[in-house]
Chain A
Amino acid sequence: MMNRMVFRNGCLIDPATHSESIADLFVAEGKIVGIDEKPADFPHAEEIDCRDCLIAPGFIDLHTAVREPGYSHKGSLYSELSAAIKGGFTQVCVPPDSDPVLDTPSVAEWLHHQAQRLAKAQVLPIGALTQNLAGLQLSEMAALKEAGCVAVSQTYFPMANTQLLFSALQYAATQDLLVIHYPIDSAWQKKAYVHAGKENLHLGLAGMPVAAEVAEIARVLALLPETGARVHFARISSARGVALIADAKARGLAVSADVSIHHLFFTETLYRDFEGYLLQPPLRSEADKDALRQGVVNGTLDAISSAHEPQNADSLLAPLVRTPAGMSAIELVWPLLVRLHRELNLSWCQCLNAITQGPARILGLNRGRLSVGQAADLTILSPTEKWQVRSETLVSQGKNTPLLGQTVTGQVKATYVRGTKIYDGTTQ
């Protein structure tokens, strides 16, 4: 029997064409075969009523730490991919900072096989830029690419050695691999915890100035013309960082950039009374947050990443500076985008572009759109339903989010990969 279905009465959001309209969507054999118009030869089909819901392309995340292999006390492929589909994500980039490090094809292949077996979100591995992320020797990028890595990165193991970074960019360009660069100065990164700003005057924590970000962006930008590399800057955190990216784009450099969802909502004030969760890069000022939001609206920032980093509860039972950085976020991206939609008065296309079309373009994926012929990776969203964020309502093994205890608006109703329902929020 052919796998046919029709999604009725939903509001179709296609960020690629900036269209938002209530229409029927026809799917057969894992592909979109018709929009608004029933295709010829489409007899019987399962009908799915999507009244009051949005239908968007499946979300794509640029950074989901699944914590496997190596850190299963913090999260597992099963728990984090379950959390991803509950959050509406159909593809997630997995960073290389696992144990063993994702610097050989075997780790990438292991991830692929395990993810396939689980039949949840698709895993897009990011290979290490250098062996063991040590910043000493280049990784086998040709092999990593063949094993399915969509990009290479040092994540938060910055390289102080400019000559080696230059070679790494050249070699990645040779293999036609995107480099995802987390701009943070290596010396500051080792010892600073929070933004060196006004709030920290009271806290007395080791502060990281904006200089630690912009100096690193500027260094990489300076290397680009001679290396020919394509670079994506991950997690811009400052107004000056956004300005540097805008300037680089205006000069025609092959760069893109994202912001973590956290930096669009939280600021340095989170740490009053030493509460909250540390982040890399640190949460900065209100003015920085506003500039980041503007960057998303005007397209300087191409994507929003969940920066999903689950941590185990035990590791958080210590003074703030002794706790590991990161927040569990992948299930909260949609409710936060609903907030952004309301607070900035954005269209759904504008909001969703940054987690669909935006990341798809960065990664060169044929995804993130609603058009005939496309794979039916879909997410059905309620923009009005409320739910309470509690340890029990989060599927992720990490409960490390400042939203714990809050009631949020925006619920993922169902997630489909190639026309197969992999998450059903209505039966939860």
Chain B
Amino acid sequence: MEQWDKNGQLKHLLTVDGFTQSSLNALLTQVDRFIDEQHRLRHTEDLKDKTVVNVFFEASTRTRTTFEIAAKRLSADVISVNVATAATAKGESLRDTILNLQAMQADLFVCRHSDSGAAHFIAKQVKPGVAVINAGDGCHAHPTQALLDLYTIKRLKKTFENLTVTIIGDILHSRVARSEIAALKIMGVKQIRIVAPKTLLPPMIEGNGVHCYTKIEEGIQDADVIIMLRLQKERMEEGLLPSLREYHRSYGLTAARVALAKKDVIVMHPGPMDRGVEIDSVVADGPHSVILQQVHFGIAVRMAVMAELIARNRS
């Protein structure tokens, strides 16, 4: 696989597939080096004299900003290229864009692209010693989101083994869901549930340690963790859903539905949220919500990933 070298060392972070429980745990343990008990982020020199280039072919606020802050806290030089309005608009290919940025001595690329598989493609183009982090490719993967969610769960729930985790929303088109499911499986959570209408469930997903529900009440029953997914408006035009109103009626996370879960349930969301569609404000801002903590932990997790990749590529 593209992201491991011959000795099984991580060269890039493209997907959580291929990790083991111990390698994921090792990475999560590393995160503590960048954040203290009081949740204060540290400042280190792990990426001193290194250049990090954020190449986002798709709009992003949160992910790009947290990667930028993370790189700066590691003392890297960071630039963010808004490719949507740059060279590709003039017809430059993805490959040429990357090769040109590499020629400017980039050491680490953080990439987001609307095509599933784009991160694998980019990793194939760069020279040895240059690392690639997948910050989301199409509907395929968003590994740092999965890692920060694992970290959040670990911090707040301590263990994974006894947990029932419910993921609700557009599983079919969600890179977050794919990475999340893979990561939770590796960590050995007791039960992974997914909740969606049949039009938003990937075919053949039932089985393999995943339980599918089309009724949100059944999926939420006694859950320890609820992960909400964003619903994109395109799904109406594609004929997969009738309306946002109907979606909210059937799948929106309301306070009454949260009450069906365990008393100490935590509610997560990768953002951006659509209040009143997939989640009600009383829940998003309520006592179970850990949504802003996720964002905060996300910086430390991304620091750990970048430090890890650069350390390995230095050696």
Contacts and interface: CB of A to CB of B under 8 A. Distances in A.
Interface string A169-203: 00000000000000000000000000011101111
Interface stretch (B34-42, B137-145, B223-231, B242-250): B137-145
Interface in A194-250: 196-198, 200-207, 209
A2 interface: no
B121 A319 contact: yes
A201 B204 contact: yes
Contact of B203 (A206, A207, A274): A207
A205 B203 contact: no
B139 A205 contact: yes
A273 interface: yes
Nearest to B115: A319
Contacts of B120: 273-274, 319
Chain A interface residue number, banded: 20 to 34
A202 B17 contact: yes
Interface in A306-359: 317-322
B204 A197 contact: yes
Contacts of A200: 202
B112 interface: no
A204 B140 contact: yes
B2 A273 contact: yes
Interface centre among B2, B17, B139, B204 (most CB of A within 10 A): B204
Interface centre among B1, B2, B113, B117 (most CB of A within 10 A): B117
Contacts of B203: 196-197, 207, 209
B8 to A, nearest CB: 16
Interface in B287-302: none
Given A204-B140, A204-B141, A321-B116, A274 B178 contact: no
B53 interface: no
B175 interface: yes
Given A204-B138, A204-B140, A322-B115, A198 B204 contact: yes
A205 B2 CA distance: 18
B94 A318 contact: yes
Contacts of A205: 116-117, 138-140
B182 interface: yes
A320 B202 CA distance: 20
Contacts of A273: 1-2, 120
A30 B140 CA distance: 58
B205 A203 contact: no
A140 B236 CA distance: 41
Tell me what chain B mostly uses at the interface: helix, strand, loop, or mixed: loop
Interface residues of B, number: 26
Interface in A266-317: 273-274, 317
A196 to B, nearest CB: 5
Contacts of A321: 115-117, 138
B93 interface: yes
A188 to B, nearest CB: 12
B17 A320 contact: no
A319 B138 CA distance: 11
Given A197-B203, A318-B93, A318-B94, A204 B175 contact: yes
Contacts of A322: 115
A328 B138 CA distance: 28
B217 to A, nearest CB: 26
B303 interface: no
B215 interface: no
Contacts of B138: 204-205, 321
A274 B202 contact: no
A319 B118 CA distance: 5
B95 interface: yes
B95 A317 contact: yes
Nearest to A321: B115
Nearest to A211: B203
Contacts of B204: 196-198, 201
A204 B182 CA distance: 13
A282 to B, nearest CB: 13
Contact of B139 (A204, A209, A274): A204
Interface in B84-108: 93-95
A319 B113 CA distance: 10
Contacts of B202: 196, 200-201, 207
Given A273-B120, A318-B95, A201 B205 contact: yes
A318 B15 CA distance: 19
Given A196-B203, A209-B203, A202 B182 contact: yes
Contacts of B118: 319
A203 B117 contact: yes
Interface string B129-161: 000000000111100000000000000000000
Contacts of B93: 317-318
Given A196-B203, A197-B203, A209-B203, A320 B140 contact: no
Nearest to B177: A204
A274 B205 contact: no
A426 B51 CA distance: 57
B205 A320 contact: no
A203 B140 contact: yes
Contacts of B113: 319
A34 to B, nearest CB: 58
A317 B118 CA distance: 11
Contact of B121 (A202, A207, A209, A274): A274
Contacts of A202: 15, 17, 140, 178, 182
Interface of B: 1-2, 15, 17, 93-95, 113, 115-118, 120-121, 138-141, 173, 175, 178, 182, 202-205
- The 6 A-B pairs with the shortest beta carbon distances in the complex, nearest first, are A204-B139, A274-B117, A204-B140, A319-B121, A319-B115, A319-B118
Given A201-B178, A205-B116, 12 more contacts: A196-B204, A201-B205, A202-B182, A203-B116, A203-B117, A204-B141, A204-B173, A205-B140, A273-B120, A319-B115, A320-B115, A321-B116
18 contacts: A201-B202, A201-B205, A202-B140, A204-B139, A204-B175, A207-B203, A274-B117, A318-B93, A318-B95, A318-B121, A319-B113, A319-B116, A319-B120, A319-B121, A320-B115, A320-B117, A320-B121, A322-B115
